[in-house]
Amino acid sequence: MGVLLEVFLPLSLAFIMFSLGISLTIADFARVAKTPIGFSIGALAQVVLLPVIAFCLLMVFPLPPELALGVMILSFCPGGVTSNILTRLAGGTLALSITLTAVFSLLAVITVPPLVVWNAEYFMGVAAPDVQVTSLGIAMFLITAAPVGIGIACRHLMPSSADRIESGAAKIATLLFVVIVVGALASNWDVFAANIGLIGPVLILLNVIMLAVGFGLAKAAGLSHADSAAISLEAGVQNATLGIAVGGLIAGVSDGIPTLAMPSGVYGITMYFVTLPFILWMRRLR
């Protein structure tokens, strides 16, 4: 399992982020200025409300310290390639979804390390792991921001080649995500079985609330149905692979996926039971 945490997981996440980057153009980021309302609402829902709501849920449904910190780590993660795929299925505005994912993935390199430190001290006290903010930030940059940047550069410099490999890269990224989640659960099955009754309801409730909050805020602002669906899924679907990776980086190498990463691993499965009915509902409302 040390090889899974040290080699396979970081490389897989880097490829997943590369597959996101290669679908982007520099012009995509200009949409932030062209659609400030949609982007601002997405930022409010994902960057501000998501962690706050996750924290409030943990006050109502107390979890063991490591699992609680794991839930908070997940709440700090941006949307991922999965949220983009689900947005497309729901008939949402894919360009808005991809832009939100890309911007917040880059922002996470700065925001996640200090937030993890504060929450580790809050939930775990003296038992909190020694989180090196700089080291965690550099590691996140290497496995998230840098691959996104390389993908964007490939798209800009070699557009025809990027077109040829984009579809295949997205399929491989999806497969890697499935392998990571299954591996995370299989390696710590005893911990999963013992705690699914605790963390499952919290994760499902967080998922449902954020989908509703994102959609409600967007509709209240008068945005189109397609934009509302995109914002809702960006707010409600987090990058579980990144959550597993951050948990592994903090806990270090062990015989299995650490408890800190377990909420992200479980969420990687439960989110589909919540989001797929939501997607069907979105398609009917179009």
pLDDT recorded at residue 233: 93
Give residue 223's pLDDT.
92
Structure tokens given for 227: 């934009």
Q: What is the mean pLDDT of residues 54-79?
A: 92
The pLDDT score that the predictor gives to residue 187 is 65
Which phi-psi region, left, alpha or beta, contains residue 222 (left: φ > 0; alpha: ψ -120 to 50)? left
Assign 208 a pLDDT band (cuts: 50, 70, 90).
very high
**Torsion of Cα atoms, 215 then 240 then 180 then 166, to 10°:** 60
Looking at per-residue confidence, does 25 or 83 come out higher? 83
Q: How much is the pLDDT for 96? A: 84
28/47: higher pLDDT:
47
Q: pLDDT category, 1, cuts 50, 70, 90?
A: very low
Structure tokens at 100: 């939100």
d(CA 149, CA 127) in angstroms, rounded, equals 37
Burial tier of 160 (Cβ tally within 10 Å: 0-12, 13-18, 19+): exposed
Q: Which of 96, 94, 95, 74 is nearest to 86 (CA)?
A: 94
Give the pLDDT score at 5. 55
- Provide the 3-class DSSP secondary structure of residue 7: helix
pLDDT tens digits, residue range 236-271?
A: 999 888 888 888 788 765 555 678 888 988 888 888
Share of the chain above pLDDT 90, in %: 26
* Secondary structure of residue 251 in the 3-state scheme: helix
Smallest Cα–Cα separation from 78: which of 246, 196, 222? 246
* Three-state SS at 219: helix
- Residue 283: predicted pLDDT: 86
Query: Comparing C-alpha atoms, which of 17, 65, 79 is closest to residue 210?
Result: 79
CATH architecture type of domain 2-281: Up-down Bundle (1.20)
Share of the chain above pLDDT 70, in %: 91
Mean pLDDT of the chain: 83
Quick one: pLDDT band at residue 109, thresholds 50, 70, 90?
A: confident
End-to-end CA distance of the chain: 45
**For residue 53, what are the CA distances in angstroms to 41, 59, 108, 172?**
16, 10, 18, 33
Whether the CB-CB separation of 93 and 229 falls below 8 Å is answered with yes
34: tokens are 């062209």
For the segment 272-282, the average pLDDT, to the nearest whole number, is 89
Q: Are 142 and 14 in contact (CB under 8 A)?
A: yes
Q: What is the DSSP string of 8-19?
A: IHHHHHHHHHHH
How far apart CA 269 and CA 282 sit, in angstroms, is: 21
H-assigned helices in the chain: 2-3, 9-21, 26-34, 36-43, 50-60, 65-76, 81-90, 94-124, 133-140, 146-157, 159-187, 189-220, 225-236, 240-251, 262-285
pLDDT score for 196: 80
